[in-house]
Amino acid sequence: MKENIGFLGAGAMGEALIRGLIRARLVPASQIVAWDVRQERLRELKAAYGLETAIGREDLTARADIILLAVKPQNVKEALDGIQIGNGKLVISIIAGVTLAELASFLGAVPLVRAVPNTPALVGEGITALAANDLVGPEDLDKAVAIFSAVGRALVLPEGQLNAVTGLSGSGPAYIYVLIEALADGGVRQGLARPVALELAAQTVLGAARMVLDTGEHPAVLKDKVTSPAGTTIAGLAVLEDRGFRGAVIRAVEAATLRAGNLSKE
């Protein structure tokens, strides 16, 4: 990628993207410029990655061809009010809950992409959903997909589906952590040492997810391959069905989706 990428805000997710871009060799550090209100944070990033730092918002937007907005939602007005985006520049936002229309109210008629990443991006295994306004062409959209593919996977969806994405993949890691903890607790109850049980649980979840992604088979098909007649797995599955495991997960996604919509309105 030949464009300079500017980060307005440089928190944990911003750093994950910076690290991913450099590791994937999508852009060299010399083509990344960052600005943050915390000067010590900029010094940390420069020392860690060798990137460029800007002296202010105006300097950042002047030097970057792709501007990535990574400030906290409560700071969006302060960060974007009065900011000027030059012609031909692409703006990508990872600001939670801020819609394309709200971004346009600050930035005007510019190409805008809204991204909803999740925290596994911090270890290069994230999934990001992207939605774009009508000013974003196919080439710019491909660039946005490439940026987030550097920290996992990326897909393009209508903006109306992003609250559901938040409820599923945005909040989903927390559901999986609870599952891993519960699996480990079950192992401990059956006599396994805590570190052993936790490693078994975490690797089992990781391996099962990899099977779904790599084989392309439906989870139900993969489940049936593990489930032999009158065996151990069907005994465990019967308990999960009896306790409403499947329905509880569905309702969790629903509740988180509704909350995401309310947060956007707030």
Q: Can you say which residues are annotated as belonging to the binding site for NADP(+)?
A: 8-13, 70-73
If you search the block for the tokens 């999740």, which residue do you land on?
A: 118
Residue type, 173: P
The closest alpha carbon to 93, from 81, 108, 78, 111, belongs to: 111
Return d(Cα 178, Cα 68) in angstroms, integer: 32
Gap between the terminal Cα atoms of the chain: 37
Burial of residue 113, with CB atoms counted within 10 A of its CB: 0-12 exposed, 13-18 middle, 19 or more buried: buried
Kind plus residue range of the DSSP H or E element containing 254: helix 245-265
- Cα–Cα distance between 252 and 206 in angstroms, integer? 21
Q: Which of 119, 125, 219 is nearest to 166 (CA)?
A: 119
d(CA 9, CA 207): 34
For residues 264 and 76, what is the distance between their CA atoms, to the nearest angstrom? Answer: 13
Which residues are annotated binding-site positions? 8-13, 70-73
- CA dist., res. 104 & res. 132, Å (int): 12
CA angle centred on 17, ends 14 and 23, rounded to 5°: 140
Q: Give how far Cα 75 sits from Cα of 14, 71, 105, Å.
A: 15, 6, 15
